[in-house]
């Protein structure tokens, strides 16, 4: 079967601008894990389409706003995360938990700063909801709740995050390619034998079940390797509530990815489309603790954590090479890709993309 997004869809700056508005400002977007906002005054900054969004902890309450000062439009928080007062670094305006500027240096020097005017200077608020230990935001004021957006994946994700253990590593990289190339790469295992010959392929990952729900999809692929060492390792986590066939991978449209190996090691990934051909990937890795009384020693856990982080980094770099190669080539054609049955989730992703992009005609849609 043929894909539904033509090559032009990955290298057309007009389409990219539309994606920012129609996908990344209207959809629920994964921002961070709750641990990043655990303390009062913790903040996180995340891009969402054309906006930068800040999320803050106000004495336990999480709120999100567009990251633009009402005075003369400086970014209020410039770092991706931190802890500190809700204060603009330019002239020192401070804001309250409703986004209203309550501290204005040399206030009498401003004419007409009545309480009504000050209320009108409140920051633009952004919708915020949680799914388990994950924080999501949506720039567009109205729309479906996060639960409605995710459908049946909401409770699956909730259970996964409740049982994923502690974060053991975080890895950020910038890929010189369109964000859709990165998403599509994660939606199929067809490339594993070639691209991940020394990593994933060694685990004997095979094509298993998949599901397409709403705009999202998942796959649950068994590992072939069932040796003694593996058996002993799995036995140490027998009480885990999440039992997958092997490698379970979930894509929440447009750009959130979560996976787990056996319900023991978890990967949470956010993609930030920085430009038409530039994508930042933020990868968090979590590892569940062994069952009480399990034979695994704490020192062994340290080695396992290190190995998991190392493996994750290697796989991401292997994927980066092919994703960037696609970007370099895709501008030289205007055809539509051929997809195998194993790449069915990509077709589903294309359909979701077309649905959200609405009337914007792609080359593929024009041909149909
Ligand atoms: S721009 Fe923020 S206080 Fe002036
Ligand atoms: Fe891959």
Q: Is 88 in the pocket of ligand 1 (CB under 6 A)?
A: yes
Q: Indicate if 115 and 181 belong to the same structural domain.
A: no
Cα 89 to middle of ligand 1, angstroms: 7
Of 30, 3, 129, 27, nearest to 356 by C-alpha is: 27
Asked, for residue 10, whether it belongs to a domain, the answer is no
Q: Residue 133: which CATH number? A: 2.102.10.10
Give the number of the ligand closest to the Cα of residue 74: 1
Cα 236 to middle of ligand 2, angstroms: 28
Cβ atoms within 10 Å of 16's Cβ, excluding its own: 18
Q: Is 91 in the pocket of ligand 1 (CB under 6 A)?
A: yes
Residue 367 has a pLDDT of: 43
In sequence order, which residues have a C-beta less than 8 Å from that of residue 266 and are 6 or more positions away? 160, 164, 165, 258, 259, 260, 285, 286, 287, 288
Q: Indicate if 239 and 279 belong to the same structural domain.
A: yes
DSSP run (H or E) holding 326 = helix 298-330
Q: What are phi and psi of 366, to 5 degrees?
A: -65, -35
Q: What is the mean pLDDT of residues 77-93?
A: 98
Greater pLDDT, 361 or 203:
203
Asked, for residue 135, whether it belongs to a domain, the answer is yes
Q: Indicate if 53 and 115 belong to the same structural domain.
A: yes
Q: Indicate if 99 and 175 belong to the same structural domain.
A: no
Q: Indicate if 157 and 87 belong to the same structural domain.
A: no
Please write the tens of the pLDDT for every residue from 308-345.
Answer: 999 999 999 999 999 999 999 999 998 999 999 999 99
Of 160, 159, 167, 131, nearest to 29 by C-alpha is: 131
Q: How confident is the model at residue 227 (pLDDT cuts 50, 70, 90)?
A: low
Asked, for residue 9, whether it belongs to a domain, the answer is no
Instruction: Indicate the burial class of 57 (C-beta count within 10 angstroms; 0-12, 13-18, 19 or more).
Output: buried
Last residue of a domain, one of 142, 164, 197: 142
Q: Indicate if 302 and 204 belong to the same structural domain.
A: yes
Last residue of a domain, one of 142, 162, 187: 142
Task: Work out which ligand 1 atom sits closest to the CA atom of 69.
Answer: 2
- pLDDT higher than threshold 90 for residue 246: no
In sequence order, which residues have a C-beta less than 8 Å from that of residue 82 and are 6 or more positions away? 42, 43
Asked, for residue 204, whether it belongs to a domain, the answer is yes
Please write the tens of the pLDDT for every residue from 282-313.
Answer: 999 999 999 998 888 888 899 999 999 999 99
Query: In this structure, which residue's CA is closest to atom 1 in ligand 1?
Result: 72
Give the number of the ligand closest to the Cα of residue 105: 1
Q: Is 104 in the pocket of ligand 1 (CB under 6 A)?
A: no
| Ligand 1 pocket, mutate which of 65, 67, 68, 69 (most atoms under 8 A from CB) | 69
How many angstroms separate the CA atoms of 3 and 157, rounded? 28
Query: Mean pLDDT lowest for which of 13-17, 89-93, 283-287, 297-301?
Result: 297-301
Name the β-bridge partners of 291. none
How many angstroms separate the CA atoms of 103 and 123, rounded? 14
Q: Residue 179: which CATH number? A: 3.90.380.10
Task: Give the CA dihedral 51, 151, 208, 338, nearest 10 degrees.
Answer: -50
Cα 204 to middle of ligand 2, angstroms: 14
Query: Tokens 């009504």 identify what position?
Result: 116
- Structure-block tokens of residue 356: 């959200």
DSSP label at residue 41: T
Which residue pairs from 11-15 have beta carbons closer than 8 angstroms and sit at least 24 positions apart in sequence?
11/178, 11/276, 11/277, 11/327, 11/330, 11/331, 12/276, 13/276, 15/357, 15/360, 15/362
Q: What are phi and psi of 155, to 5 degrees?
A: -70, -30
Task: Work out which ligand 1 atom sits closest to the CA atom of 92.
Answer: 3
Q: Indicate if 326 and 206 belong to the same structural domain.
A: yes
Q: How confident is the model at residue 226 (pLDDT cuts 50, 70, 90)?
A: low
Residue 102 has a pLDDT of: 95
Query: In this structure, which residue's CA is closest to atom 4 in ligand 1?
Result: 91
Count of structural domains, the chain: 2
Q: Indicate if 101 and 192 belong to the same structural domain.
A: no
Percentage of the chain surpassing pLDDT 90? Answer: 85
Q: Indicate if 119 and 236 belong to the same structural domain.
A: no
Sign of the dihedral defined by the CA atoms of residues 204, 219, 180, 282, in that order: negative
Residue 127 and residue 145 in contact, taking contact as beta carbons nearer than 8 Å: no
Please write the tens of the pLDDT for every residue from 146-196.
Answer: 999 999 999 999 999 999 999 999 999 999 999 999 999 999 999 999 999
Q: Indicate if 132 and 164 belong to the same structural domain.
A: no
Please write the tens of the pLDDT for every residue from 118-138.
Answer: 999 999 999 999 999 999 999
In sequence order, which residues have a C-beta less than 8 Å from that of residue 168 and are 6 or more positions away? 285, 286, 287, 305, 308, 309
Q: Indicate if 220 and 290 belong to the same structural domain.
A: yes
pTM, to two decimals: 0.94
Q: Is 123 in the pocket of ligand 1 (CB under 6 A)?
A: no
Q: Indicate if 228 and 323 belong to the same structural domain.
A: yes
Domain of 52, in residue numbers:
27-142
Of 316, 269, 260, 254, nearest to 287 by C-alpha is: 260
Last residue of a domain, one of 142, 175, 208: 142
């Amino acid at each position: 079967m043929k894909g539904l997004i033509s090559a032009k869809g990955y290298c057309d700056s007009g389409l990219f601008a539309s994606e920012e508005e129609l996908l990344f400002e209207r959809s629920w977007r994964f921002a961070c894990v709750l641990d990043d906002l655990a303390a009062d005054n913790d903040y996180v900054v995340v891009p969402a389409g054309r906006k930068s969004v800040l999320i803050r902890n106000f004495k336990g309450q999480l709120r999100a706003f567009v990251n633009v000062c009402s005075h003369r439009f400086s970014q209020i928080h410039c770092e991706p995360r931190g802890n500190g007062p809700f204060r603009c670094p330019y002239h020192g305006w401070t804001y309250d938990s409703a986004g209203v500027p309550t501290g204005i240096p040399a206030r009498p020097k401003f004419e007409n700063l009545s309480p009504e005017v000050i209320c009108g200077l409140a920051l633009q608020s952004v919708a915020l909801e949680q799914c388990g230990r994950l924080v999501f935001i949506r720039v567009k004021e109205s729309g479906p709740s996060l639960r409605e957006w995710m459908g049946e994946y909401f409770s699956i994700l909730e259970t996964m995050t409740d049982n994923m253990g502690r974060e053991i590593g975080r890895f950020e990289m910038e890929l010189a390619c369109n964000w859709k190339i990165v998403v599509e790469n994660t939606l199929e295992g067809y490339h594993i034998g070639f691209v991940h010959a020394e990593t994933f392929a060694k685990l004997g990952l095979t094509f298993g079940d998949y599901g397409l729900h709403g705009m999202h999809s998942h796959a649950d692929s068994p590992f072939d390797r069932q040796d003694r060492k593996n058996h002993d390792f799995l036995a140490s986590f027998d009480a885990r509530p999440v039992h997958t066939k092997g490698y379970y991978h979930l894509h929440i449209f447009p750009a959130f990815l979560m996976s787990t190996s056996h319900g023991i090691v978890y990967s949470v990934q956010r993609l930030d489309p920085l430009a038409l051909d530039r994508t930042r990937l933020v990868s968090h890795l979590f590892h569940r603790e062994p069952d009480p009384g399990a034979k695994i020693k704490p020192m062994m856990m340290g080695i396992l954590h290190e190995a998991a982080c190392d493996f994750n980094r290697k796989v991401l770099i292997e994927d980066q090479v092919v994703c960037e190669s696609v970007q370099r080539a895709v501008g030289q054609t205007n055809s539509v890709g051929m997809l195998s049955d194993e790449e069915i989730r990509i077709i589903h992703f294309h359909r979701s993309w077309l649905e959200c992009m609405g009337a914007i005609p792609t080359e593929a849609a024009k041909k149909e």
